[in-house]
């Protein structure tokens, strides 16, 4: 199966959850489902759980073996991706990659799924922004690392 088809399916799953949000802080029916799938309970921050949903659901539906378990922590995701050799240079970003932002007490504070790469930045589908799943634009992503999760 081509990488383009895998990424198209992942984007379709991501768009399916667009604008889903919390009913209470870091909780709610769909948010609890995302957190549960990522292996944590509610309430918890859920940006990484959103990316986990996109990638894990895509792998399950297409019969693919995930290269790593994404889980629910940006810092743990970064450690696992680094150990598996999945980190890429920002010059090589493609749709379907994962963005991990630097910051916070553990060194990595936020995660999103790269939806589209354009000349002046990237569009990312991410959870836990304004209490819902949204598409956001980043034109300065030097404070991020990127993970090549899907590589057919």
User: For position 152, what pLDDT does the model report?
Assistant: 54
Closest Cα to residue 135, out of 99, 104, 103, 102? 99
- pTM here? 0.93
Dig out the tokens for 102 from the structure.
Answer: 């630097």
Q: For domain 3-147, give the fold.
A: endopeptidase fold (from Nostoc punctiforme) (3.90.1720)
pLDDT in tens, the chain (152 residues): 899 999 999 999 899 888 888 777 888 888 888 899 888 888 888 999 999 999 999 999 999 999 999 989 999 999 999 999 999 998 899 999 999 999 999 999 999 999 999 988 999 999 998 889 999 999 977 799 999 999 85
Edge-to-edge strands, sheet with 132-138: 87-88, 144-147, 98-102, 108-118, 121-129, 132-138
Largest interatomic CA distance in the chain:
40
User: For position 68, what pLDDT does the model report?
Assistant: 95
| Burial label, 54 (beta-carbon count in 10 A; 0-12, 13-18, 19+) | buried
């Amino acid at each position: 199966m081509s990488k383009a088809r895998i990424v198209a399916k992942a984007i379709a799953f991501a768009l399916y959850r667009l604008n889903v949000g919390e009913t209470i802080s870091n909780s709610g029916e769909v948010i609890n489902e995302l957190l549960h799938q990522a292996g944590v309970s509610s309430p918890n921050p859920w940006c990484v759980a959103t990316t986990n949903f996109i990638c894990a659901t895509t792998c399950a539906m297409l019969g693919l073996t995930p290269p790593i378990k994404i889980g629910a922590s940006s810092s743990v995701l970064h450690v696992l991706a680094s150990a598996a050799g999945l980190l890429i240079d920002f010059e090589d970003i493609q749709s379907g990659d994962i963005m991990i932002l630097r910051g916070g007490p553990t060194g990595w504070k936020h995660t999103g799924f790269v939806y589209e790469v354009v000349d002046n930045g990237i569009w990312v589908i991410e959870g836990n922004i304004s209490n819902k799943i949204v598409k956001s634009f980043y034109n300065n992503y030097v404070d991020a690392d990127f993970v090549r999760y899907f590589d057919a």
